[in-house]
Amino acid sequence: MKEGTSLASWSAARARVVSGVVPSVACIATRRNRHLSGIVWGKEYVVTAAEPLAGADQVEVSFGEDPVVADVLATDMTTDIAVLRVPEHAAPAWKRSSLPVDAGSIVALVGRGARGPSAAWGGVALAGPAWRSRRGGTLARRLEFDVRFTPGLEGAAAVDVEGGLIAMAVAGAGGKVLGIPAETVDRVLTLVQQHGRVPQPYLGLRLQPLWLDEAAAQRLGQGASGTAVIAGIDPASPAAGADVALGDLLLGIDGERLTGIGAVASLLAGTAPGTALTLDLLRAGTPRAVEVRVGERPRRSRP
C-alpha cells in the first residue's frame, strides 16, 4: 500500500467515526445566544452540560434543521448534567464504548455548533477510579481529556476510535476538560425518569467551621484540626426529628472522621435520600451516636 493511500484511509476512518455519532449530537442554543452541544440519550431525552444553561428552563435544540424548543427537565448541579426533553427525536444511534479507556487512549469529542457538526481529536489525559467532585457529585470514573476545547464542545460526546461513547465532555476547573462518564449520565437520567428531578440529599443542618488546637484535636481523636459545629437546624427537616442539638460538634458520619463542612457536604452528596446515617456528635464533651435518615432538599422555600 502506498503511503498516500494509507494516510487517506486513516483520515477517512477518523471522519467515519465522527459521522457515526453526529446524528445523535444536538446543537443547543440558550436565550443568551450561547451554543453548546448535547447528546441524544434514550428516545426523548437529550443530555447536556448544566452550568452553561445558567438556570434557563427552555432551550432551542437542533440537529442541523430547524430548531425546536425543549424543556430543561432537570439539572443536577453536582454532576453538571442537564436533561432536556425533545419529544420528536429518534432513538440514539451511538453504541457504548467497549474498548479499554486509559491514559493515552485516543478520543474524539463530537459536538454540533450553530454552523454544523464539529469534532476535536485528542487523547485521554487521565483515567482514574470513581471520585467525588468539589460540587459534591459522585462520578463513576475520573476522566480528563487532552483536547483542544471550545465552548461549543461543552456537552459533546467523547467517543473512542470505534465511535463507542465514553462520556459527555464538560469544562472543569482550571481549564481542564472533564468527561462525565456514561454510567453517571445513566444514573442521573434514571433518577429524572423516576422522580422528574434529581433529588438532592438533605439533613437540615446548618454548620459552621471550627478550628481545633492540637490538644483538642488529639483528645477528640480528630486527625486534622478542623471540625464543624451545628449552628442551626431547619424546621421540619430530618435533623429536626433527630436527637441533634445546637452546639453539637459533628465529628464524623458512619464512623468516618470528617474534618470540616466540605467533607460533610461531600459525603452527604454521595448519599441517596432515604439512607440512614449515624452522626457522630460530641455534646458537652460526651460523644453520642445519633441516627438520622437522609431526606430530600425542599424544593419550596421556607417562610
Partner 1 sequence: MTPIAAALSPALGDELLARLVEIGEHGAVAVHSVPALERLLPRSREPIVLVGGPWPASQALVTAAGQRRAPVLLLSDALPGSALEAALQDGVRAVLPVDINARTLRAALDAVGQGLTVLAGGLRPVLGAATEARAAEKLTPRGLTAREREILALIATGASNKTIARRLGVSPNTVKFHIVAVFAKLDAATRAEAVAKAARLGELSL
For partner 1, the binding residues (CB under 8 A) are 50-51, 54-57, 72, 74-78, 80, 134-136, 197-198, 200, 202-209, 231-232, 234, 237, 260-262, 264-265, 268, 297-302
Q: Which is nearer to partner 1, 57 or 162 (CB)?
A: 57
Distance CA 240, CA 56 (A): 33
Burial (CB count <10 Å: 0-12, 13-18, 19+), residue 23:
middle
Task: Give 194's contacts (C-beta < 8 A, 6+ positions apart).
Answer: none
In the bound complex, what is the minimum distance in angstroms from residue 191's beta carbon to partner 1?
Answer: 11
Distance CA 39, CA 94 (A): 10
C-alpha torsion angle, residues 17, 19, 24, 27 (rounded to 10): 120
In the bound complex, what is the minimum distance in angstroms from residue 139's beta carbon to partner 1?
Answer: 13
- Could you write out the three-class secondary structure of 282-299? EECCEEEEEEEECEECCC
Q: Which is nearer to partner 1, 55 or 223 (CB)?
A: 55
In the bound complex, what is the minimum distance in angstroms from residue 56's beta carbon to partner 1?
Answer: 6
In the bound complex, what is the minimum distance in angstroms from residue 66's beta carbon to partner 1?
Answer: 24
Which amino acid, residue 244? V
In the bound complex, what is the minimum distance in angstroms from residue 25's beta carbon to partner 1?
Answer: 23
Q: Which is nearer to partner 1, 121 or 202 (CB)?
A: 202
Half-sphere exposure of 138 (CA within 13 A, CB side): 16
Closest to 117 (Cα-Cα) out of 106, 126, 130, 108: 108
Q: Which is nearer to partner 1, 24 or 237 (CB)?
A: 237
**Neighbouring-strand partners of residue 28:** 36, 61
Half-sphere exposure of 10 (CA within 13 A, CB side): 7
In the bound complex, what is the minimum distance in angstroms from residue 264's beta carbon to partner 1?
Answer: 6
Q: Which is nearer to partner 1, 100 or 235 (CB)?
A: 235
Q: Which is nearer to partner 1, 190 or 208 (CB)?
A: 208
What beta strand segments (E) does 58-146 contain?
58-62, 68-76, 81-85, 106-113, 116-128, 131-132, 138-139, 142-146
* C-beta separation of 68 from 86 below 8 A: yes
What phi and psi values does residue 28 have, to the nearest 5 degrees?
Answer: -115, 125
Q: Which is nearer to partner 1, 117 or 204 (CB)?
A: 204
In the bound complex, what is the minimum distance in angstroms from residue 159's beta carbon to partner 1?
Answer: 26
